[in-house]
Amino acid sequence: MPEKINLRLSLGKNQKKKPENFISLSQAINKIKGKNYPAEIEEALIKKMSRQPSNTFEKFLKNINTHIGKIKDGKDKKT
C-alpha cells in the first residue's frame, strides 16, 4: 500500500512580490519641481536622484529634507 507524503516546496525565504507601482525619474523630478525649492537646491536634488536606482525614488522623496540639509551644509560631496 502506498504511503502518503506531504511535500512543501519553497522558492526562497519569505519571497514576496515587489510592488510594481514605482514612480519614474520624470515623475520624481516633477514632484521636486512642484515644491518650488531654490534653483541650486533643485538642481542638486535632481542630480543626486538621477544617480539612484529607480526603485528608491519614493524613499528618496520621503527623506528629501535629509538630502536638502546635506546639500545646504555642503556635506554632500557628490553633488
| pLDDT of amino acid 79 | 46
71 Cβ contact list (under 8 Å, min separation 6): 41, 44, 45, 48, 79
pLDDT digits (tens, 9 = 90+) for 20-76: 568 999 999 999 999 999 999 999 999 999 999 989 999 999 999 999 999 999 865
Whether pTM exceeds 0.85: no
CA gap 49, 38 in Å, rounded: 16
Distance, in Å, from the CA atom of 20 to the CA atom of 17, rounded to the nearest integer, reads 9
